[in-house]
């Protein structure tokens, strides 16, 4: 925690342990705080088994890399800090939003987004029947109406700062690219299933490339979990605040007819 305070240049621990909800929602705080929480659990939890594979949803990919030994805690936090700053600056320049879509096949969501004027794409494939779309505000709202007309159970705009994991994040690439290029990335101790490919990655060059592509590409969480299951995963442990991924993994495994154990350390 003290190392994090020094790297960030302010006492994030004071906010994490004693700040208000509003303080925690500030972009410069939220992403580093979640990263610190997750990696502290991964590195400091007694008796936590060494993972045979890892994965993380969006920001969580950075803490997964630390857990797998591919990136140091300090370097991971520096990347998260720069990523948060670049994304915030991008959001201020290029306003956008996201919306959760429930109850439609992936292909239907993709087709309607493609047919909607403006920029809007399927950005988070969370589990079968649950996708988050991202893009320009008017395009997202128009897509929501079309998706509801197509039978979506819900099409709910989200309270987010911008159009994450969409082409609207392109202006943030340059600053993050320089930071990723300057960061030492080692071969991980186990495969990491990255958001962009949903495949098991172990090559540092590929990991580096995928980290940057993640900024403007969809999070393929459904496919990542299915590929982990196909590789023999039977026990999943979620590290970090909340149990959202625990629920998604259970739904994906059930859809695949797999019996698994899922735990959470929050």
Query: Order of strands, edge to edge, in the sheet holding 192-193?
Result: 54-55, 192-193, 200-201
CB-neighbour burial class of residue 245 (10 A; exposed 0-12, middle 13-18, buried 19+): buried
23 in Cβ contact with 29 (< 8 Å): yes
Whether 72 is a known active-site residue: answer no
**Helix ranges restricted to H, the chain:** 2-8, 12-18, 21-25, 27-44, 60-67, 73-93, 106-115, 137-149, 173-181, 204-213, 221-230, 244-255
131 in Cβ contact with 140 (< 8 Å): no
Whether 58 is a known active-site residue: answer yes
Nearest 10 degrees: Cα torsion 73, 195, 209, 160: -80
SS3 157: strand
Element (H, E) at 127: strand 120-127
Contacts of 158 (CB under 8 A, 6+ apart): 97, 98, 99, 100, 132
Which of the residues 165, 166, 217, 224 is marked catalytic?
165
Nearest to 65 by CA among 155, 166, 186: 186
CA distance 20 to 23: 5
Which of the residues 37, 58, 72, 264 is marked catalytic?
58
CB-neighbour burial class of residue 163 (10 A; exposed 0-12, middle 13-18, buried 19+): buried
Task: Write out the catalytic residue numbers.
Answer: 58, 165
């Amino acid at each position: 925690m003290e190392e994090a305070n020094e790297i960030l240049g302010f006492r994030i621990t004071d906010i994490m342990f004693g700040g208000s909800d509003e303080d925690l929602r500030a972009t410069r705080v939220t992403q580093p705080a979640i990263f610190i929480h997750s990696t502290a659990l991964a590195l400091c939890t007694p008796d936590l088994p060494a993972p045979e594979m890892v994965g993380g949803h969006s920001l969580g990919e950075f803490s997964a890399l630390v857990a797998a030994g591919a990136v140091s805690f300090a370097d991971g936090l520096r990347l998260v800090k720069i990523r948060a700053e670049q994304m915030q600056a991008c959001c201020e320049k290029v306003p956008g939003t996201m919306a959760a879509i429930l109850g439609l096949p992936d292909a239907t969501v993709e087709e309607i987004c493609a047919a909607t004027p403006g920029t809007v794409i399927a950005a988070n494939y969370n589990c079968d029947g649950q996708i988050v779309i991202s893009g320009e505000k008017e395009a997202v709202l128009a897509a929501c109406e079309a998706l509801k007309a197509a039978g979506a159970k819900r099409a709910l705009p989200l309270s987010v700062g911008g159009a994450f994991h969409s082409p609207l994040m392109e202006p943030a690439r340059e600053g993050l690219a320089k930071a990723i290029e300057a960061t030492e990335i080692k071969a991980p101790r186990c495969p990491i299933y990255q958001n962009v490919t949903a495949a098991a990655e172990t090559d540092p060059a590929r990991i580096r490339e995928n980290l940057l592509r993640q900024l403007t590409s969809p999070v393929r969480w459904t496919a990542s979990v299915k590929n982990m299951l196909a590789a023999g995963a039977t026990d999943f442990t979620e590290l970090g605040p909340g149990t959202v991924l625990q629920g998604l993994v259970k739904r994906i495994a059930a859809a695949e007819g797999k019996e698994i154990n899922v735990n959470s350390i929050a």
